[in-house]
Structure formats: C-alpha cells, structure tokens
Structure 1
C-alpha cells in the first residue's frame, strides 16, 4: 500500500489556510483531519456542512436515518459507527438503527427507499418524490437529496483513504456494539 495516502493531520501539521476550522468541527473528526490535506476544499465544505448537519429541514432524527442508510449502502464503517453513536444520543433504540440495514417500515422505510433510489438510480421517481414531499415537505426532499450527496462525498474520501474511526467512537462501538435484536 502506498505510504503517501492522506492520513488524519495532527494539530502540528494542520495547514494555516484552514487554521480557523481546526478549533471547530474540523479538528474533532478524522474525516476532516484527512480533508485538511486540501484546505480549499475544507473551507468550501464548511458552509454546506453547517446546513446539512445543523440546519436541515429534515431535523435531527430524519437526518440520522438518511445518513445511516447512506453509510450502510456505501459500506462506510466510519460513518456507520459515528452515526450509530449519534443516533443513540438522539434516543434511537438499537433495533431502529439495525433496521436501516434492511428495509424498515413506516417513514424510515420511505426515507431508506429514497436513499436507495438516489444511489441506485441517481434520481427520485415522480411517485417517490410526491410521497416524500407529502411526508417531509419540499424543502425536506431537497435536504434529503443534499444529505445523501454530502455523505456520499464523505464516504468516497473515507473509503479511498481508509480513514480510521475516531478513537472515542471505536471504543464506544467495542464496549457497546449495535444489538440488532434489541
């Protein structure tokens, strides 16, 4: 394996051009410490991240469903572990999280079908779009699409560079693995 593949940057190696982001979200996670190898991209990423992660019309619960399904479909262990942790903090039972590896019922199933359509077909059918708009609102549909795109790009970065799961999340998953039967 090549040794020049980007690894998470230490604080000492952090680029000056992205210094302001290190103390915020970017310095907290390995994915952004890898992205810091390209400070221009990381700086451009920050405003979109603020919308997708903090201000989405989906709200935190629906966003987690979108992210978990996207992580599952991409096979991204990093995003899956990080968002299992986040979903648990939001109060998701393990059974709800585990169900996103299959086809859950109800609104989670609708969202999972939408994520699958975007990944497999690169579009929402008119029928699925109408169903989503009725459930999530038009802004919610746009934010669902943007969230899948956002986490797809992160998945490409994470998996291309074998980004390690952050230590605290890895420890949490080791001591409290996802129980699919809860």
Structure 2
C-alpha cells in the first residue's frame, strides 16, 4: 500500500448533502481531513466516531486537552493525528516548541511542564502502558484536577487511542499542513 493512499478509499467530492454539511461544520470551511473522509464512508463508523467527539468546551482548558491528546497520539505512534492537533491547536494552547517536542520525546517529569501538566502526562503514559492508574498516579492527578476533569482525561486518552488505531491501521497519509514528529536528538 502506498504511503499516499489509505487502505480504505476515502469519500470523494461531491459529498452527499448531509455529509457535506457535517464536514463543513467540523472543518469550518476547510477541506475535510483524510481521516474524516475515510471514516465517513461507513455510516455506522461515522455516526459513532462523531458522537464520541471531545473537542467541545469541556472541563479541561484547551492547553490541558491538547497536552493529553498530543501525548496519547505520540505514545501510540500516531504521527497523523498528533500532527493535525499540533498544527491546529498548539499555538492557541500556548505550547512552546520545547513542549511540543516533549509530548513525543520527553519524560513525564520534564521541567518544561508544570506539576499539574506532569500529572496529565504521567496519567496518559500510565493509561497507554497499563490501561489503569496506580493509587499514586490517581492521587497525583487528583491533587490538580477534579472528578469531572479526571473523567475527561480518561475519555480523551481512550478516544484518541481509538483515533490512533484508525489512522495507523488504515495507513492514512500525513496531512500536508500537519506537523511532523520531531527527530530524535
């Protein structure tokens, strides 16, 4: 399979009116991402996928949300989704170049993060590695985040692991304007 074509063919324009309207709402007039075009080819998958979206104004700040998403995508090796989120949200989330790099290459306790952000990253790492949090990890997270925020963190980790499965498993080509994983030092 070529790096430029996914394993399942994406929808091509013209899109059905309902799908076109959904793409416009999600993408705000920009061309739909390859991920959306592929998943929308299955009505059930698209319905379930869009029902699970967590990019609304939830209990986490934009910055916190993006740290969790970027770290989860990095841990799953999903350059596709990591790159889309970094290109789209990193500036608004006030992530520095050092922090962007650290989402892929840094330890959870990297000094570029606040104590609360370190707890977020440690939680994403633990959920990725073991699908659970130790009592100490949960206590550290609880020291910085309330119950609604902790649910959101876990939901984000799970949802973006699923997104990573889709992007990686379907061999989606990287979006042209998306960021790329930083090279190892």
Counterpart for residue 165 of structure 2:
156
List runs of 5+ in structure 2 lacking aligned partners.
Answer: none
Q: Which protein has greater RCO, CA pairs closer than 8 Å, 6+ apart?
A: 2
Residues 58-98 of structure 1 show CA distances to partners (whole Å, capped at 9, x for unaligned) of 12100111011111101111112112222123321101111
Distance 1:4 1:143, change over 3 A: closer
Counterpart for residue 50 of structure 2:
46
Does structure 1 retain, via aligned residues, the 8 Å contact 2:34–2:175? Answer: yes
Task: Report how far residue 17 of structure 1 moved.
Answer: 6.5
Computed over aligned residues only, the root mean square deviation of the Cα atoms, in angstroms, reads 2.7
Counterpart for residue 68 of structure 1:
70
What secondary structure, in the 3-state scheme, does the structure 2 residue paired with 1:55 have?
coil
Structure 1 stretches (4+) deviating beyond 6 angstroms? none
Counterpart for residue 21 of structure 1:
22
For 2:19 and 2:85, the matched residues in 1 are separated by 25
Counterpart for residue 133 of structure 1:
142
Counterpart for residue 145 of structure 1:
154
TM-score, normalised with respect to structure 1: 0.82
Counterpart for residue 83 of structure 1:
85
Task: Report how far residue 23 of structure 1 moved.
Answer: 2.1
Q: 2:95 aligned to 75, 86, 92, which one?
A: 92
Residues 116-143 of structure 1 show CA distances to partners (whole Å, capped at 9, x for unaligned) of 1111111112221122122011111100
Does structure 2 retain, via aligned residues, the 8 Å contact 1:95–1:179? Answer: no
Task: Report how far residue 15 of structure 1 moved.
Answer: 5.3
For 1:66 and 1:44, the matched residues in 2 are separated by 21
Q: Which has the higher helix share?
A: 1
List runs of 5+ in structure 1 lacking aligned partners.
Answer: none
Residues 34-74 of structure 1 show CA distances to partners (whole Å, capped at 9, x for unaligned) of 1112122212322321xx11132112100111011111101
Residues 131-179 of structure 1 show CA distances to partners (whole Å, capped at 9, x for unaligned) of 212201111110000001111111001011111222232xxx48xx869
TM-score, normalised with respect to structure 2: 0.81
Q: 1:7 aligned to 9, 26, 38, which one?
A: 9
For 1:137 and 1:38, the matched residues in 2 are separated by 37
